[in-house]
Amino acid sequence: MANVRHGPHRAPKTRIVDTSGIANAASYGWSSTNWSGYAISSDVNGTYKSVTASWKVPTVKPPSGTQSSSLWGWLGRWLASLFGVGPSSSDAYSATWIGIDGFTNSNLIQAGTAQNIVNGSPQYYAWWEILPAAETEISPVEYPVSGGDVMAVSIAQQGDGTWQIQLQNQTRGWTFTKSGIQYTGPQTSVEWIEEAPEVNGSVTALANYGEVYFTNLTVNGANPHLQLSEAGIMVQNSQQVSTPSAPGPSLNDFNIQDGAAQPPAPTV
């Protein structure tokens, strides 16, 4: 497998890009070349002890005219891993996840799903990660993921100071739990993110993920009361490629959409 990381090269707040001419740019609090979504931060260490969200895994499609057999797709991924090269020009990646830290520092504990186009073929799986290590892919044989599956994901500090990550595929009926995790980040931010991850050291092109609805958001077991100023857009090659909506009326959900158009906010 390729070496995949889901944190930014630098914290998104230090990576503000030129947003002149970008739709609704003034409404958002930040921009990044590989993250979009919502992030909340604090100056107080230990502020964030848990985060949750649910979403439907987006379906990605191969680019028009691209053909690739599963054998060639496997061979391409194996060669990339063997020689440490970045993704090919036709590959595109997207990751949907929640996390604690990473927005204003280089620490991060996170978990989510991957929706990629690799050598022309869709690729789906669940994963978790603690920077600076690369992602740990959760066995797609034992814990399969497909576009359209409904996921519920949580990250929580336990009473003994260790952490637990849990991913539930509510469509397929499985639950993956990783307990006793050692994590010592400052706990000064929390995120709900759609991302173009880093593969073998290079930020990838964002796969066309369509739209994702993040719902059932909590922080420390409570409503996060999202504000649009906490949202950020993704900009690659001077193009806005991923855009979140305003929060819904309950302030604990939002939509996010591939491209520059702002999707409508949830209505319930």
**Mind listing the pLDDT tens digit for each residue in 43-61?**
999 999 999 999 999 999 7
Compute the distance between CA of residue 4 and CA of residue 102 in angstroms, rounded to an integer: 16
How many domains, in total, are found in the chain? Answer: 1
Which tops the pLDDT comparison, 158 or 88? Answer: 158
Is the residue at 36 inside a domain? yes
pLDDT digits (tens, 9 = 90+) for 211-256: 999 999 999 999 999 999 999 999 988 889 999 999 999 999 999 9
Compute the distance between CA of residue 122 and CA of residue 72 in angstroms, rounded to an integer: 13
pLDDT digits (tens, 9 = 90+) for 132-149: 898 999 999 999 999 999
Paired with 208 in beta bridges are none
Compute the distance between CA of residue 245 and CA of residue 253 in angstroms, rounded to an integer: 9
Kindly tell me if the per-residue pLDDT of 117 is higher than 80. yes
Kindly tell me if the per-residue pLDDT of 266 is higher than 90. yes
Residues 6+ apart with CB under 8 A from 207: 60, 92, 93, 94, 115, 116, 117, 196
Sign of the four-CA dihedral 32, 36, 38, 39: negative
Q: CATH number of the domain that 220 lies in?
A: 2.60.120.700
Is the residue at 265 inside a domain? no
Is the residue at 266 inside a domain? no
Provide the pLDDT for residue 172: 97
Give the count of alpha carbons within 13 A of 3, CB side only: 13
Provide the pLDDT for residue 68: 41
Using DSSP's 3-state secondary structure scheme, residue 59 falls into: coil
Instruction: Assess contact for 101 and 115: CB atoms under 8 A.
Output: no
Average pLDDT value over all residues in the chain: 86
Is the residue at 148 inside a domain? yes
Is the residue at 268 inside a domain? no
Residues 6+ apart with CB under 8 A from 257: 210, 211, 212, 242, 243, 244, 245, 263
Is the residue at 267 inside a domain? no
Provide the pLDDT for residue 15: 42
Query: How many C-beta atoms surround the C-beta of residue 129 within 10 A?
Result: 24
Nearest Cα residue to 113 out of 188, 53, 63:
53
Is the residue at 264 inside a domain? no
Provide the pLDDT for residue 203: 87
Nearest Cα residue to 69 out of 144, 120, 116:
120
Look up the domain containing 13 and give its range.
4-258
Is the residue at 108 inside a domain? yes
Bond preceding residue 247 cis, omega within 30 of 0 = no
Buried b (16+ CB within 10 A) or exposed e, 203-228: bbbbbbbbebbbbebbbeeeebebeb
Query: How many C-beta atoms surround the C-beta of residue 232 within 10 A?
Result: 26
Compute the distance between CA of residue 245 and CA of residue 231 in angstroms, rounded to an integer: 8
Confidence of residue 20 (pLDDT cuts 50, 70, 90): low
